[in-house]
Amino acid sequence: MLLVESGKENISAPTPRRIIRNTPTEVRIARGFDELLMVYSIRAAVYIAEQDCPFAEEFDGNDLCATQFIALFGDEPAGCLRARFFAGFVKLERLAIRKPYRRSTIAFDLVRFGIDHARRKGFQRIYGHAREGLEPFWARFGGKPIPGREEFVFSDHRYTEMVADFEPLSEAITLADPPMKILRPEGDWDREGILESSAARPARLASSKSVKTGRRLETAA
């Protein structure tokens, strides 16, 4: 789902043009509870308050099994996006931009970041549901309607299924990468992680942290 500004409105907050010029912007993966609260707050403001979407339909049980992206203007949360990963494709969804920032490029920045992240994970196909009238937005990223698939309706809006296909990235994460690289935090694969620092400690004996349960010997991984 995507909600964008369809006309001119009187906005009391500073215009995005002024914010962009004077304030650093950043898009990143939401990792901690504080950043997840930012994501949920944006979606509550956009979809529940503005679009009158029922709570159970907006917070659909998929948030804790997805990757969340947050866009910030300075320290202020401005937009968010969600990605869910399936065999062979990634679904980008729940793109939401707060009202004062809808004339900025933040929606484009979020989608590009989400696509780049998915491609780095080795995915070449991006799938999404474009709300009626917003197909041109997704077409900017290579999205095309799936042939032979009819529009469908949920949460009071009509949607089109769209996909975008990309060439594989040479730097995509694969099993050929070192194991410690794969252990690094999601999306931060080019920087040494905390577990690599732990490798400086000597390895424990295999049985030093084992727990005996009857005749079986169970060892924590």
CATH number for the domain harbouring residue 61: 3.40.630.30
In a domain, 83, yes or no: yes
Neighbours of 165 (CB within 10 A): 11
Looking at the structure of the chain, the number of domains it has is 1
- End-to-end Cα spacing for the chain: 40
In a domain, 212, yes or no: no
Q: How far apart are CA 37 and CA 45, in angstroms?
A: 12
In a domain, 136, yes or no: yes
In a domain, 209, yes or no: no
Per-residue exposure over 198-215, b if at least 16 CB sit within 10 Å of its own CB, e if not: eeeeeeeeeeeeeeeeee
In a domain, 208, yes or no: no
Q: What is the extent of the structural domain holding 123?
A: 2-165
For every one of its 221 residues, what pLDDT tens digit does the chain have, with 9 covering 90 and above? 443 332 323 333 344 444 455 556 899 999 999 999 999 999 999 999 999 999 999 999 999 999 999 999 888 999 999 999 999 999 999 999 999 999 899 999 999 999 999 999 999 999 999 999 999 999 999 999 999 999 999 999 999 999 999 999 999 999 999 999 999 999 999 999 999 999 899 998 887 666 665 555 455 55
In a domain, 109, yes or no: yes
> Rounded to two decimals, what is the model's pTM?
0.83
